[in-house]
Amino acid sequence: MSVTLRKKQLKGGKVSYYLDIYFNKRRFYEFLNIKVNQKSIANEKQLLDLAKEIRAKREHELLTQANGLINKQGKKIQFIGFYEKFIETKNTSGLYSGVLKHLKAFSGTQFLSIGAINTTWIKDFQEYLLKRVSHNSAAMYVDSISCSLKEAKRKKIIDENPFDFMAASDKLRKKETYRSFHSLEVIEKLASIQHDSIHSQIRLAFLLSCFTGLRWSDIHCLKWEEVKVNSFPDHKEYFLYFEQEKTEKISTIPLLESAIQLIEERKKQAQKEFSSPFVFPYLVESGNNSKKKYQLVRRVLRKWAQVAGINPKSLHFHSGRHSFATNIYENCPDVDVLVLKELLGHKDIHSTMIYTHLTTKKMRNALSSFKFRLNDSGAA
C-alpha cells in the first residue's frame, strides 16, 4: 500500500496536485483540486502543506481500513476495499464477483470513497449495469451494494444509507420470471442415477435441497450438529436447526422421510471418511477456492442433467429449492402460504407468494369442485 503526492504541470505555469494511491493491488488517482501558481512562493508553500496533510490523512485511513479498524472519518474509506471485505463471508456463487468486476470497471482509476456514494452515483451505476447485464442481474447487483452500505451504517462508518433516500420509482426491482422446478417424477429419476462423474456428495446435497428447500449458501456448509433428532418411545423426529446465511434467520425445518433417508445415507458414507463437522465436506467453500468450487458443482449438475435427459440449465441448487416449495404447495392440501413461508425461512410473505402461481394444479383442483353446468337451452 502506498499514497504518493504527485503534481501535474498545467498551462500558464500552474501545477495541480493529486494522490497516486496503490491499495488492494489496484492503483487509484485522487485529484485534490489544489492548483498552485509556482510564481507565488508563499501561496505554493501553504497549498503544498495542505496537500501533504491530505496525503497523510488518506494514508492513515487506508491503513486503518486494511487492518479492519473503524475510522472516525469513515466516509473517506475506499469503498471497493470495504466491499471486498464485506463479501469475504458471503456466498460467492458468482453474484458478488460479478458486482466487484463491474464496480472496478465503473469506478476506473478514480478513488471511490464510501462518502461519495449518493443517489446520483447509484442511478449512474444502475444505468451502467443495464447496458451490460440483464435487468434482474442488475437489480441483484445493486441490492448487494445496498446491503454493504447497511453494514457500513451499522458500523457507524456512514450516518445514512443513500438507498434510503431514493424514490421507489428510481430503484431497480427484480422482474418476475419463470422459476424452473422439477416434479416428483423428475426428482425420482435423478435419484435413480448414480454415475462415476457425479460426486456422491453433490448428488445427495442437491436431492436434500429438493426435500428441504435449502439454498446452496446453507446446504454447502450444513453441519452435523445442525441435524437434530428427538427420540420418542415409538418413533424419532428429525429436523434441521440452523441460521440461514442469506436472511440470518434461525430456522427449524422438520425433515420429510425422503430427506431423512438422504441424511442417513450420507451418515453411512461419512463413517468411512475422515471426521468432519460438515455434512458435505466436499462442498465446503473456503478462501479463494470458493468460486471454483461452485463452478465445479455446476459442471457436475449439468452432466447429471444430460444423463437424465433434462435441460442442463434447469438443474441448479435454486431449482432444487423451487422444486421443494412447489411440490409441497401443490401436493399437500394442509399447507398454506404462511406454513410455506416458515419452511423456506422467508422474512417477507411476498417472497413466498411467487410459489402460489408457479403452476396451475392448485387452480385446477379448486375449479374441479365447481360442478355447475348450463343446460343446453341456456348456452350461448
Mean pLDDT split into 10-residue runs, the chain, 380 residues: 81 79 73 72 72 77 62 70 82 73 89 88 94 91 93 87 89 77 93 91 96 93 94 90 84 93 95 94 74 86 94 92 90 84 86 70 64 59
Retrieve residue 318's grid coordinates: 435454486
Spell out the residues 6+ positions from residue 11 whose beta carbon is closer than 8 angstroms to its own: none
From start to end of 215-373, where are the E strands?
227-231, 236-243, 250-254
Residue showing cell 463413517: 271
Q: Nearest 5°: CA angle at 272, between 265 and 251?
A: 45
pLDDT of residue 380: 46
The torsion defined by the Cα of 130, 134, 135 and 138, in degrees rounded to 10, comes to: -70
pLDDT of residue 373: 66
pLDDT of residue 20: 82
pLDDT of residue 142: 94
Q: Phi and psi at residue 31, in whole multiples of 5°? A: -85, 130
pLDDT of residue 84: 86
Q: What is the pLDDT of residues 73-129, one digit of tens each?
A: 556 788 988 898 888 767 555 678 889 899 999 988 888 888 889 999 999 999 999
pLDDT of residue 372: 66
pLDDT of residue 186: 94
Q: What is the pLDDT of residues 343-379, one digit of tens each?
A: 998 888 888 887 776 555 666 666 666 666 676 654 4
In this structure, are residues 225 and 277 in contact, taking their beta carbons and an 8 Å threshold?
Answer: yes
pLDDT of residue 290: 60
Nearest to 149 by CA among 68, 83, 81: 83
Spell out the residues 6+ positions from residue 315 whose beta carbon is closer than 8 angstroms to its own: 182, 190, 206, 301, 302, 304, 305
At position 106, the amino acid (one-letter code) is F
